[in-house]
């Protein structure tokens, strides 16, 4: 068993090339996500991702499903064909291979979500 206390570990400014439009902070809790790593052998990647107002991911895909659970603020998740405003308690499942983005976008509010993918998932940035 491993317990991660809120005072343990690091929240690092997201510097992965997937982020755009503002400040993003990533706290990996299991696996590796958003350019940050947690030292364990979980079967999945799990992170808290905090987007400053206006920040979001670039269009990208994952080789596994991605699940997003909003824990604070107002954000957006979308594809080239549709866009949804999301807020606290909302949950999104993005199918493997679907080009999408997520973040605070143009809501004027910061947004934080849990992001979950399979441990072996590969992320590919496909656009701006």
Query: Could you list the pLDDT tens digit for every one of the 128 residues in the chain?
Result: 777 777 766 666 766 789 999 999 988 888 776 555 665 667 888 989 999 999 999 999 999 999 999 999 999 999 999 999 999 999 999 999 999 999 998 889 999 999 999 988 999 999 88
Is the residue at 5 inside a domain? no
Is the residue at 128 inside a domain? no
Is the residue at 30 inside a domain? yes
Confidence (pLDDT) at 100: 97
Domain that holds residue 116: 12-122
Instruction: HSE, CB side, 13 Å, CA atoms: give it for residue 40.
Output: 16
Is the residue at 63 inside a domain? yes
Q: Tell me how many degrees the CA angle 17-5-24 measures, rounded to the nearest 5.
A: 20
Look at the chain and report how many structural domains it folds into.
Answer: 1
Is the residue at 103 inside a domain? yes
Is the residue at 7 inside a domain? no
CATH of the domain at 45: 2.60.120.10
Confidence (pLDDT) at 4: 73
Confidence (pLDDT) at 112: 96
Is the residue at 127 inside a domain? no
**16 secondary structure, DSSP code:** S
């Amino acid at each position: 068993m491993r317990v991660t206390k809120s005072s343990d570990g690091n929240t690092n400014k997201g510097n992965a090339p997937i982020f755009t439009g503002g400040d993003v902070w990533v706290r990996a809790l299991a696996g590796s996500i958003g350019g940050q790593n947690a030292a364990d052998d979980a079967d999945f990647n799990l992170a808290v991702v905090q987007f400053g107002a206006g920040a979001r991911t670039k269009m990208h895909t994952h080789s596994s499903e991605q699940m997003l659970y909003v824990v604070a603020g107002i954000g957006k998740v979308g594809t080239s064909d549709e866009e949804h405003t999301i807020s606290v308690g909302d949950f999104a499942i993005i199918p493997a291979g679907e080009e999408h983005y997520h973040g605070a976008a143009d809501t004027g509010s910061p947004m934080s979500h849990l992001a979950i993918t399979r441990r072996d998932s590969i992320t590919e940035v496909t656009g701006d």
